[in-house]
Amino acid sequence: MKLKKRTTITRLGGICVLLAALSHSLFSQVETDFGKFTGDFRARAESADQQGRPASDALTLRSRIGFQSQDFEGFSFLIEGEDVRAMDEDDYNPYPVAGKTVIADPEGTELNRAQVSYARDEFIGTVGRQRIILDGVRYVGNVGWRQNEQTYDAATLTLNDQESGFKGFYGYIDKVHRIFGDDAPASAMREFKSDSHLFNGSMMTEGGTKVVGYSYLLDFENAAANSTDTFGISISGADEVGDGQKVSYYAEYATQSDGGNSPLNYSTDYYHLNASTTFESITFKGGYEVLGSDNGVGFKTPLATLHAYNGWADAFLGTPGLGLQDLYLSVGTKIQSISGMLVFHDFASETGGVNFGHEIDLVITIPVDDRWKIIVKAATLDVAGGIPDNDKFWFEADFSF
């Protein structure tokens, strides 16, 4: 990295430290009978180089400040603003249009969350702009890796019966505020106008096995091709094998078809299997994930935190028309408080026998204290089948209170 860029990173880190220190001194001590302030800051340097496009470098600072009220006879409210600033906005392209390699962190200032909740016994109801995260964010998430968080104008109801081990969730989504922000060039980039229903129920057995059933009925007025009906089930748990060695397992199956106002006509499946175990301080994990296809349409997950799946190079944010098979292996360890993980992916189409290549990912997380942490992350994608090679690198500092 050039000296100029190193200097800019240093300055960005300094700004993050200064803002974090000021915010902590101003807000974290202002705790009254009415509630408390919350906040987090993320300073990030990201480099992305996609074959066939000029490389991009982004130096951004994401700032969030919010206020969480105390409980008043079961009622509470939360309000939170978010701002993203770039020190070099001309060095990258924040939108997936022609130009430089995309780094999807546009500048902007937005209302991130504004919600009212009511809690009584095992029930919690929430109305307003809110964060929704279900299970492993494979279908519904907040896209927390990007600087501008995805949030929802929604009404949600959660039942958590600790005695029986049952947890139920229902959500109605009126609007999806996407990561590309209010200034994105297309309506569907900025937000999904929605008439969608989310159902999710889970049960924890006495033996520690978790069973989850779900149906996600998505209907988007301005993104009709993403309107889908998805039904699925997952099972996860851990068993002892041999001399006290534990193996964790996960298995999931789902079926999906066009839903709502979709102009498409397809029906396809999804399944995901993985297992992991730890020897000494090293954790090994292997898995196989398949997103099917039908009539040239791949299995869709338009509300997911997609960065968490199918490689950190983000080459498969949309499932190819031939579907996707992802065979992956990872090894991770933790030395004192520092953790690291290395991941290998082998990609292929679900139909047609096309080799999509492979990817290697690496992440190192260094907690400085309870409020600070540093993350170093990299991904290199060597592909075939018409998909461009892609290399990415991140260095970030996070502060929260």
pLDDT attached to residue 369 = 87
Q: pLDDT band at residue 243, thresholds of 50, 70 and 90?
A: confident
pLDDT attached to residue 89 = 83
pLDDT of 22 higher than 90? no
pLDDT attached to residue 21 = 55
136: left (phi over 0), alpha (psi -120 to 50) or beta: alpha
pTM of the full structure: 0.92
Tell me the DSSP string of 182-195.
TT-SSHHHHEEEEE
E strand segments, 90-165:
108-120, 123-130, 151-161
Percent of the chain past pLDDT 90, that is, above it, reads: 80
Q: Both tokens of residue 70? A: 């105390």
pLDDT attached to residue 352 = 94
Q: What residue type is assigned to position 259 of the chain?
A: G
Say if CB 380 and CB 355 are below 8 A apart. no
Lowest mean pLDDT among 13-17, 176-180, 303-307: 13-17
pLDDT of 252 higher than 70? yes
pLDDT tens digits for 354-398? 999 999 999 999 998 888 999 999 999 998 767 888 999 999 999
pLDDT attached to residue 388 = 87
φ, ψ at 312 (rounded to 5°): -80, -5
φ, ψ at 310 (rounded to 5°): 60, 35
Where along the chain do its domains lie?
1-105
Q: pLDDT band at residue 1, thresholds of 50, 70 and 90?
A: very low
pLDDT tens digits for 32-91? 778 999 999 999 999 999 998 899 999 999 999 999 999 999 999 999 999 999 998 888
pLDDT attached to residue 227 = 98
Mean pLDDT within 293-297 = 98
Burial of 286 (0-12, 13-18, 19+ CB in 10 A): middle
pLDDT attached to residue 4 = 47
Q: What separation, in Å, do the N-terminal and C-terminal C-alpha atoms of the chain show?
A: 32
- Sequence length of the chain is 401
HEC string for 333-396: EEECCEEEEEEEEEEECCCCCCEEEEEEEEEEEEECCCCEEEEEEEEEEECCCCCCCEEEEEEE
- Count the helix, strand and coil residues of the chain and give each as a percent rounded to the nearest 5: 10, 55, 35
pLDDT tens digits for 163-215? 888 999 999 999 999 999 999 999 999 999 999 999 999 999 888 899 999 99
pLDDT attached to residue 144 = 95
Looking up tokens 């090994």 gives: 284
pLDDT of 332 higher than 80? yes
The H or E element that residue 83 is part of is strand 75-86
Looking up tokens 């800051």 gives: 41
Nearest of 76, 171, 168, 69 to residue 122 by alpha carbon:
168
242: left (phi over 0), alpha (psi -120 to 50) or beta: left
Q: pLDDT band at residue 3, thresholds of 50, 70 and 90?
A: very low
pLDDT attached to residue 360 = 98
Mean pLDDT within 140-165 = 96
